[in-house]
Amino acid sequence: MTVPPRPRAALENRLDVETPELVQVTYTIAGVGSRARAAMLDHAIMVGLIIAAIIFWTALSVASKAARDLLAAPWIGGVMLIVVTLGYWGYFVFFEAIWDGQTPGKRANRLRVVREGGYSVTFGASATRNLLRIVDMQPGFLYAVAVLGAAFSERGRRLGDIVAGTLVVQEDLGAIPAVPASRAPRPGEGPAAPALHAALTDEEFDLLDGFIARQRELADDRRAAFVAQFLARFAEPLRTLDGTTPMARLIRLRDAERAARDRGLAARDDTGAARERHAIVAQGSARWSAFASTLAAAQKGGLARLGEARVRDFVRDYRELAADLARLRTATRGQDAADVFYLNRLVAGAHNLVYRRRALPLRTIARFCFADVPAEIRRSSRVILLAGFLMYFPMAISWVAVVREPAVAATLLPTSMLDRAEDGIRRAMEGTGYIPDPEIMRPTMAGWIIANNVKVAIAAFALGVSAGVGTLWILVSNGISIGAVFGLYASKDILPLLMAFVAPHGVLELTAITLAGGGGLLVAGVLLIPGERSRRTAFRADAPRALRLFAGSAILLLVAGSIEGLISPIPYWPLELKLAVSALTGVLLYLYVRLGAPPVTARAGAVAPLPATAPRAP
């Protein structure tokens, strides 16, 4: 048979895992180059989608003439701001969820994200690895942290992959072992006695086959010298073969050896299980090739599209190929043979499909949001309180400092905030509210606020991998700026003006930032104090907990941003009514946290430039 070129194993980074069928499967880790190509394609698609969304929003706003359309445009604008922000951060999570670890860029480059062990990536693991893009993308959008991590990590993993317990693998199958038809007996040849093995070793056959393929490229004297050497070396097997010329006899020997291997005969000097290798390949090549076609279809559309009967056949064939791979590995004695490489890729791809997680039903999502998240908030109350202390204590200090010495505000707050406070005196006298409130723009304002706060929460959560330094900065800087603003308004005797704006959404917004910071501190704790566990084991146990805290933060920010954009700016609502809204949000938050399911057991699973917008003061 024709043996395809051997894979360049020395140039590849590989990972061996053992399947539930007790078969070793080798994954080829994706290189930095292929991952960079996939990332560039994905970002080009994201930019295109964002530009298309902006064009659509602008065209709709400009084209609106009727009052009804003018009122609808701000709502569309607010929704578009949220969609663009969540789309940017959710693009990879969305596609990796529906395409089982692939985005359009990864699919074009035949890459896939899998969990350690070769299992399908979960939503939690995908969310964790992609939220950490805020760190991997530093500095700016250059992805320097990610590139360095992938280049120097043993398994080519960026920081997000390390925390999430995932890796990116290459899915190319390589060359398909070809099985040419056996040569028919030449005229005058009688039936030969059945052979027990081929006449040449694999190395001798490869050497002879390579010479015959290239002999026309050689000078006559060089070709004659090689022919003489081959005739002397292969004198015994050539003894039974005739030919018109010495080269014809060598070609007949090559053809006879190829036919012997096609019949499944072992090479000369092969012993024990190694004698089975050629028989395994000869008997299985056609079946493997057929399975490869089915696997390609299943990888594109999922197993469900195959139909129930074909899925049963697929699983049965997968187990048969796994058994073939185990036999073939034994027969090749661990050598990097092309047939092992090809069959391994088939089994690895099928393994990922057979053990693929099922789609998340709405009931599971609802349980996560309304049971798992509240339970985790209760379970992680200490680290949340620590995050709260890191924000509220600096807040109190800066508040008192500005009240006692108003000039300190100039060193803690931007000029725009100082000017707003000066204008606040007039607004308090006129009763026009904390900020200008064009009612028609409230939906757009709500969308901008939600988008900004989500970015701040992502930063507070993801920067936990900086050993907590980044999370600490987010919490403390937020606390200082918010406290300074309150102190400034108190020093000017217009604190009720600010309270009327902050009260409706403040409880939820500040709690959300605290939850995100608590998640970041959980991750930092794993890095700094893993205890008796290894850091990898600690990450697997605590990263899902941190992700649940961030999910709780995102839920609260969606509600708080909506209130801040739609209710907080209303100037004619009295302070008492705004405080009542604040109290109601506090009660609902308490019920949300207390009425969730009992604490869940930690499951193994999964925590992009710093946001251009700094943590927003009230």
- Binned average pLDDT, 10 residues per bin, the chain of 618 residues: 40 66 74 84 86 73 53 57 70 82 88 79 80 71 61 70 82 53 45 56 82 84 87 83 80 82 61 63 80 81 76 87 82 66 79 69 80 92 95 95 91 82 73 54 53 78 86 92 90 86 89 93 87 78 86 87 78 88 94 71 38 37
Q: What is the rounded CA–CA span in Å between residue 581 and residue 504?
A: 5
Instruction: Quote the tokens at residue 56.
Output: 């659509």
Residue 192 is given by DSSP the state: P
Length of the chain: 618
Q: Which of 63, 596, 608, 147 is nearest to 380 (CA)?
A: 596
Q: Which residue has the tokens 């006695």?
A: 193
Q: Which helix (H) or strand (E) holds 16?
A: strand 14-18
Maximum distance among all Cα pairs of the chain, rounded to whole angstroms: 117
CA distances from 427 to 103, 437, 445, 480 (A): 51, 12, 20, 25
Give the pLDDT score at 26: 73
Distance CA(309)–CA(532), nearest Å, equals 49
The neighbour count for residue 577, using CB atoms within 10 Å, is 15
Helix (H, G, I), strand (E, B) or coil at 476: helix
Q: What pLDDT score was predicted for residue 436?
A: 55
- State the number of CA atoms in the 13 A half-sphere of 144 facing the CB: 5
User: Could you identify the residue written with the tokens 């056609």?
Assistant: 286
Residue 29: in which H helix or E strand, if any? strand 24-29
Helix then strand then coil, in percent of the chain rounded to 5, is 70, 5, 25
CA distance 420 to 418: 5
Count CB atoms within 10 A of the CB of residue 304: 10
The CA-based dihedral angle spanning residues 416, 419, 421, 423, taken in that order and rounded to the nearest 10 degrees: -130
User: Which residue type occupies 594?
Assistant: R
Residues 299, 288: Cα–Cα separation, whole Å: 16
CA distance 605 to 135: 19
CA atoms lying within 13 Å on the CB side of residue 106: 23
Dihedral of the alpha carbons of 162, 166, 167, 169, in degrees to the nearest 10: 180
Q: Tell me the CA distances in angstroms from 91 to 48, 83, 95, 458, one per residue in order.
A: 12, 11, 6, 15
Domain range list for the chain: 31-170, 383-396+424-594
Confidence (pLDDT) at 197:
59
Q: How far apart are CA 303 and CA 552, in angstroms?
A: 34
Q: What is the pLDDT of residue 383?
A: 94
483 CB contacts (<8 Å, ≥6 apart)? 394, 395, 396, 397, 398, 399, 402
Q: In what order do the strands lie in the sheet with 166-170?
A: 14-18, 24-29, 166-170, 111-115
147 close to 9: Cβ distance less than 8 angstroms: no
Q: What is the pLDDT of residue 360?
A: 60
Q: Give CA–CA dist 368/376, Å, rounded.
A: 10
- Using left for φ > 0, alpha for ψ between -120 and 50, and beta otherwise, residue 269 falls in left
